[in-house]
Structure 1
Amino acid sequence: MQENNITQVHSTTPDQLYNSILKGVRTELKILVENFQPKKQPEYLTRKEVANILKVSLVTLSDWNKKGVLKPYRLGNLIRYKREEIDQALKVIYNKK
């Protein structure tokens, strides 16, 4: 059996109802706009770029890959690193010292 939901509005003109709904929608949209943060696309760096940032040789970079200090991403024959993961690894490396 299907239920019918009926809402009755007394003492309100159609314009008042319209403006009330519009005000509520605008308030919600304003909150969404204030809290909206677009999703950042990850920035990928080459081995040479990472070696220059970390001021290490490519051999050290390969060693850190094997030890799990850095996480390389393979794109075919290319190796790339995520910028934010490099920043986190830097903090870990220098906190150990």
Structure 2
Amino acid sequence: MITNSILLECLSVEQLQQMIGTSVKNGIQEFQNEIKTKDNSEELLSRDETCQFLKIDSSTLWAWTNAGKVKAYGIGARRYYKRSELLENLILLKK
């Protein structure tokens, strides 16, 4: 039977601190990589979240939705906006 165990009585305090530090750093690095690769483009935003994301007032969002500048998706009386579509609707302005 193979076991992965460490005998702590053979380690100095510095060695144990180094092992723990290395393990924690590796765990944090893996978590950061997972967050970076996570695809948030299809995330649905509520009206308030969309206004905060675009830094606009709710009346502006209402006007843009009615003018067809942004697409809204609804369930009942609730409206949602796809983050990816909001980003696609942004246009580059030339100076």
| Identity score, percent | 33
Please list the CA deviations of residues 42-71 of structure 1 after superposition, one character each: whole Å capped at 9, or x if unmatched. Answer: 210001111011111000000000111100
Q: Which SS does the other structure have where 1:95 is aligned? A: coil
The ranges of structure 1 where at least 4 consecutive aligned residues each deviate by more than 4 angstroms after the TM superposition are none
Correspondences of 1:1-97 after superposition (within 5 Å)? 42-89=42-89, 91-92=90-91, 94-95=92-93
Structure 1-normalised TM-score?
Answer: 0.51
Q: CA RMSD in A?
A: 2.5
Q: Which SS does the other structure have where 2:64 is aligned? A: helix
Q: Distance in 1 between matches of 2:85 and 2:67?
A: 15
Number of residue pairs aligned between Structure 1 and Structure 2: 57
Structure 2-normalised TM-score?
Answer: 0.52
Gapped regions of structure 2 (runs ≥ 5): 1-38
Contact preservation (8 Å) 2:41, 2:84: no
Q: By how many angstroms is 1:95 displaced?
A: 3.1
- Greater radius of gyration (CA): 1
Which residue identity does 2:75 align to in structure 1?
L
